[in-house]
């Protein structure tokens, strides 16, 4: 029988938590993609003007772009922040973008390219998936190190 003392229990819990975070990130990503696709499919179409673009470098190869967009709907003006999971489109201040706005909440908009007002929530799946992978990899490495350090008769 394996003796699960503190360090071993932490290593096992790291793997278990990683095994929950990774699929949780995948599920959240799928749900957000479906939400944005639905908004594009049934939302009210309008155009907006990009008034500000911010690009953030995350890691060596990942860039997050946030757009501030002005648009009007039903006589009301809106200024919303949109971002995307992936930096697929190069927008600049002054560009006109086609928006699809939620019929029940005019502050929720999306583009067909995947930009949406869910903003930072769109970055969460990637962070959850990365954290899950790291924990799944580190847990067994941690366990192996502990097993090597312990005496053979302690199991």
* pLDDT tens digits, one per residue of 25-67: 899 888 888 888 899 999 999 999 999 998 877 667 667 788 9
Residue spans of the chain under pLDDT 50: 1, 155
How many distinct structural domains can be found in the chain?
A: 1
The answer to whether 120 and 91 have CB atoms below 8 angstroms apart is no
The predicted pLDDT at position 80 comes to 94
**Does residue 37 lie within any of the structural domains?**
yes
Q: What is the 3-state secondary structure (H, E, C) of 94-144?
A: CCEEEEEECCCCCCCEECCCCCECCHHHHHHHHHHHHHHHHHHHHHHHHHH
The predicted pLDDT at position 2 comes to 52
The answer to whether 111 and 88 have CB atoms below 8 angstroms apart is no
**Does residue 48 lie within any of the structural domains?**
yes
Quote the tokens at residue 42.
């049934």
By residue range, what is the domain housing residue 22?
A: 6-154
**Does residue 1 lie within any of the structural domains?**
no
The predicted pLDDT at position 1 comes to 47
The predicted pLDDT at position 49 comes to 97
Quote the tokens at residue 93.
């201040």
As a whole number of angstroms, the longest Cα–Cα distance in the chain is: 77
Is the pTM for the entire model greater than 0.85? no
**Does residue 45 lie within any of the structural domains?**
yes
């Amino acid at each position: 029988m394996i003796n699960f003392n503190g360090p071993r229990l932490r290593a096992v819990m790291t793997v278990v938590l990683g095994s929950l975070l990774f699929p949780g990130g995948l599920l959240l990503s799928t749900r957000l993609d479906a939400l944005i696709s639905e908004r594009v499919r049934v939302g009210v179409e309008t155009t907006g003007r990009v008034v500000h673009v911010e690009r953030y470098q995350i890691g060596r190869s990942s860039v997050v772009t946030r757009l501030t967009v002005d648009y009007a709907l039903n006589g009301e003006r809106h200024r919303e922040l949109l971002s995307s999971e992936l930096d697929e489109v190069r927008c600049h201040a002054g560009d006109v973008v086609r928006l699809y706005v939620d019929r029940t909440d005019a502050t929720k908009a999306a583009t067909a390219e995947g930009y949406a007002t869910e903003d930072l929530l769109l970055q969460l799946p990637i962070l959850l998936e990365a954290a899950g992978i790291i924990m799944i990899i580190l847990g067994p490495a941690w366990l192996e190190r502990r097993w090597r350090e312990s005496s053979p008769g302690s199991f």
